[in-house]
Amino acid sequence: MDYRLSEDILAIRELCSDIAARHIRPIREELDRENRFPAEVMKVLADSDLFRIYIPEAYGGLGLGSLALCVAAEELSKVCAGVATTYAANALGAMPILLSGSEEQKSRFLPGLASGSNLAAFALTEPDAGSDAGGIRTRAILDGDSYVLNGTKQWITNGGEAKVYTVIALTDPDRGARGASAFIVEDGAPGFSYGKKEDKMGIRASATRELVFEDCRVPVANLIAREGMGFMVAMRTLDNSRPGVAAQAVGIAQGALDEALAYASQRRQFGQRIDSFQAIQFMLADMATQVEAARALTYSVARMIDSGAKRFEKEAAMAKVFASDTAMRVTTDAVQIFGGYGYMKEYPVEKMMRDAKITQIYEGTNQIQRGVIASALIRESASKDRK
């Protein structure tokens, strides 16, 4: 389909496709098997200026917005979602600064993130605060010209590899979620260390680690917005980043569909290619239709964001739910088309199926997203009734 992409975005798509083919595909199985961070690929992406996509020009970026970032994430995800997660998590980590940071904070941190010399990470989740993001326990107590942080963050993408972390912590526990604040914590800060590196089911090329704060001092200048705004900063960040997760899911699904099409044209059973069987044809048709629908919804929401829309949490949640559910269905069907071979690690669809699962879970489970969608629908309906 023709999505009327700009010349700049088409060039980004072609560049990402080339990098994925030349630098990621040859090592994706190794990265997955060894649970290895793709430092060499991150350097290629940085040297290709792909970290600049979502950063405004004033801070060393290209200022191309959400759609461009989605296209890049999708293209990388077609080959390896673990590498794409590592790349996209930088945008997630930078988003609180982009959306709510002061001019001084933007000038101090964004140029390094744009160049790729520094990686970023976003730290909200804790052992007892997953879907219940308001249940965080990490504390930040003001002490002179700094805040003292104590607590643990869990399952943080790019943990241990990033140099810049945006961390949500409680400055006033009595106020619940309204007592949360957002901070920029730099790698090497006194009292900041890394805990367990997770051994994950999928996206194994991305680093996922605990962050441990033990009397960690963070300068007052690193407070984002003001005290009590942390939960709002986090929710705005996730609303803006969810189309990226949807794009990742679209890429995984498209990659699996491409592999299934190629395999079905070569595999022979009962004396003929299996893509001549109507059962396989119908599976491929459904897979392709679902992928195209997910892509259209994802691009539409990204364009909403780029247009300056004030509210898009419902649409962002829809894109994330639909695209991630599609990725799970399509990769499962791809494994089925491969038959017994699809269950073997030497074929890529097995990895794609494992990778797809996380898109239904992280940055808000699909059950939570359906709640977001339903709440928005009810609110919109009540607003119409009042009129």
Active-site residue numbers? 363
Co-location of 223 and 330 in the same domain: no
Q: Which residues contact 98 (CB under 8 A, 6 or more apart)?
A: 54, 55, 56, 106, 110
CATH number at residue 286: 1.20.140.10
The string of pLDDT tens digits covering residues 270-284 is 999 999 999 999 999
Interval 153-175: pLDDT, tens = 999 999 999 999 999 999 999 99
* Residue at 282 is within a domain: yes
Contact (Cβ atoms closer than 8 angstroms) between residue 368 and residue 324: no
> Are 281 and 312 contained in the same domain?
yes
Say whether both 251 and 345 belong to one domain.
yes
Q: Is there a contact between 189 and 147 (Cβ–Cβ < 8 Å)?
A: no
> Do 222 and 278 belong together in one domain?
no
Q: Do both 270 and 364 map to the same domain? A: yes
**Token code pair at residue 122:** 């976003």
Return the CATH number at 78. Answer: 1.10.540.10
Q: Is the same domain home to 214 and 107?
A: no
Q: Give the domain extent around 133.
A: 121-230
User: Does residue 2 belong to any structural domain of this protein?
Assistant: no
Does the pTM exceed 0.85?
A: yes
- Span 340-377, pLDDT tens digits: 999 999 999 999 999 999 999 999 999 999 999 999 99
Within a domain: residue 81?
yes
